[in-house]
Amino acid sequence: MRSEAVSPLLHRVLAAVLGTTALATAACGGTSGEPVSPLCEASQAYSVADKVRERAGLDFLARSSGGASFYGDQAGVACSGASNRAACQGALESARGDLNGLSRGKEYIYGYYVATRGDEVIVADAPAELAALVGSADDPNVAAFLALAELPTIECAKVHISARDDETLVTHTRPLGCIDGGTETRTYRVTRSGDVTLESHVRDEPERGCMVEGRLHEGQPRIAYDGDDAGSLLARAAFYEAGSVGSFVRLARELRVHGAPRELVSRAVGAARDEVRHARAMRRLAERRGATVVRPPRAPRAVRPLEDVARENAVEGCVRETHAALVALHQASCARDEAVREAMSGIARDEIGHASLAWAVAEWAEARLDPSARERIASSRAAAIEELRAVEAPDATPEARRALGLPEAAAARALATELAAALEARAFVS
């Protein structure tokens, strides 16, 4: 696989898993999410605006950019219940609102909603006004309408709704208009009172970015952090991140000695620096939770034959670090602890770079080996890919899982097996 294909591949796998309806809530740590199914029993697509209109007792509901310039589907008939229809229509024509008023944070929603109920003409040009207009969001249609305010029509295959505690999760997958074949998946949390927050946003194109165990090296000890609380898991991550520093320092030296291009050597040095940053970030987060971080022993320094270097790279880099980058991306999307999410966004971006470096090292190193050595390395990599299929979610308390954005068991398996399939399909194609 070419190294530049790593990032889009990981984003695609994550979007596929988070976008899978059965996993949409479990993937992001929801523990009590119950699928809500009545929305799409009979049709492939339907007007959610019309359902909401009926429920709220409105005659008409549409998104407008001024007067009678309506977007998309209009629900109901304007002024149908008015005692003076002409007066109502005149008022509707002259109704104006803030064109950017429904936008939320960085989410830009153009236009505002207008509605009629009897003689009344209503403009809703702020999220709270729209929520007040359509009533309690314990109705799944209302929750979907508020979350996807720019979409009066819902395509059933692209929207998944689940109830959780006293809120509703709405997950929507759509193609990215400007990128061939790309998709984005957004999950919104909608409270009963209609407040909408964007819980996660995943794009399957290389835009941005764990318990990342990092790149291990020959002889690196595993440690037994038994705790399954967030502090222990962060301490464990800090230990492995620190261990990865030595792995990359050694890789850089070995690449230099074996005559690798300067670009590869300096990427390995850069990766070692990244790992120093990751280790510090994880240590800070662990210590903030009262956990103690153990320092790893030094990595061995001796330079090995190129075949050994390439084998370790194939297993630890091409497979395990690529998987770690995927989990890091999941955490960057799902962690509820804001400091963890922020740290993981940067770490995920770096880890994708390390996975991509591994594939670049493979391209360079394996081309220099004889066919039988190449075959041995291919079978080590294939065995490591096979091992991915047995990956289990790390033991973690529900609180730790949510805080750190770790995948639930089903999502962890789906991530690993989807990745295994994607790597198998592409590993030996350059």
Contact positions vs Fe ion (CB under 5 A):
214, 241, 275, 278, 351, 354
Q: How far is the CB of 194 from Fe ion (least distance, A)?
A: 40
Measured CA to CA, the distance from residue 228 to residue 327 in angstroms comes to 17
Considering the complex, state which of residue 275 and residue 312 has its C-beta at the smaller distance from Fe ion. 275
Considering the complex, state which of residue 186 and residue 278 has its C-beta at the smaller distance from Fe ion. 278
Considering the complex, state which of residue 111 and residue 246 has its C-beta at the smaller distance from Fe ion. 246
Contact present, 295 and 236 (Cβ < 8 Å): no
Closest among 353, 430, 364 to 7, alpha carbons compared: 353
Considering the complex, state which of residue 139 and residue 241 has its C-beta at the smaller distance from Fe ion. 241
What beta strand segments (E) does 141-240 contain?
153-155, 159-164, 167-175, 183-191, 196-203
DSSP state letter for 321:
I
Q: How far is the CB of 173 from Fe ion (least distance, A)?
A: 29
Burial of 174 (0-12, 13-18, 19+ CB in 10 A): middle
Alpha-carbon radius of gyration of the chain? 26
Considering the complex, state which of residue 12 and residue 354 has its C-beta at the smaller distance from Fe ion. 354
Q: How far is the CB of 347 from Fe ion (least distance, A)?
A: 6
Q: At what angle are helices 409-426 and 371-388 packed, to 10 degrees?
A: 160
Q: How far is the CB of 186 from Fe ion (least distance, A)?
A: 27
Contact present, 427 and 377 (Cβ < 8 Å): no
Q: How far is the CB of 418 from Fe ion (least distance, A)?
A: 21
Considering the complex, state which of residue 72 and residue 270 has its C-beta at the smaller distance from Fe ion. 270
Quickly tell me which residue has 């850089």 as its tokens: 252
Beta bridge partners of 120: 117
Q: How far is the CB of 188 from Fe ion (least distance, A)?
A: 30
Q: Is 98 helix (H, G, I), strand (E, B) or coil?
A: coil
Considering the complex, state which of residue 204 and residue 275 has its C-beta at the smaller distance from Fe ion. 275
Q: How far is the CB of 277 from Fe ion (least distance, A)?
A: 8
